Amino acid sequence: TQLLEQSPQFLSIQEGENLTVYCNSSSVFSSLQWYRQEPGEGPVLLVTVVTGGEVKKLKRLTFQFGDARKDSSLHITAAQPGDTGLYLCAGTLDDKIIFGKGTRLHILP
């Protein structure tokens, strides 16, 4: 059973479009992180959210933590080819950091 479910698994859209990807769980997390991973490399941290309802912005990326701290979303505005990659959410649960399987995003020029 996957503790963190990410959707969609794959997404391919045109440059300039907006998109939202989701990370859902039935568990409550003390914090949640989003990472991006490119081929042949390790994941790189984008953001950490801690408080229920928290919203953080990183340029064209907006991250939201659910009020109950069980879910999160990542919204990208005006996607660019450089946004292509595997987006992973991770939750902190009892000192362990658990990852979802990720959303593989491909932005077409």
Partner 1 sequence: DAGVIQSPRHEVTEMGQEVTLRCKPISGHNSLFWYRQTMMRGLELLIYFNNNVPIDDSGMPEDRFSAKMPNASFSTLKIQPSEPRDSAVYFCASSVGRWSPGELFFGEGSRLTVL
Residues lying near partner 1 in the complex (CB under 8 A): 2, 30-33, 35, 40-45, 48, 88, 90-92, 95-102
Give the shortest CB-7-to-partner 1 separation in angstroms. 13
Give the shortest CB-94-to-partner 1 separation in angstroms. 9
Scan for tokens 């660019």, then name that residue.
Answer: 80
**Distance from C-alpha of 109 to C-alpha of 71, rounded to nearest angstrom:** 31
| Side chain identity, residue 105 | L
**End-to-end Cα, the chain, rounded Å:** 36
Q: Is 65 exposed, middle or buried (0-12, 13-18, 19+ CB in 10 A)?
A: buried
User: At residue 7, what are phi and psi to the nearest 5 degrees?
Assistant: -145, 150
Give the shortest CB-80-to-partner 1 separation in angstroms. 24
Nearer to partner 1, 32 or 79 (CB): 32
Nearer to partner 1, 89 or 107 (CB): 89
Nearer to partner 1, 73 or 92 (CB): 92
Query: Encoding tokens for residue 75?
Result: 């919204």
Nearer to partner 1, 29 or 83 (CB): 29
Give the shortest CB-9-to-partner 1 separation in angstroms. 10
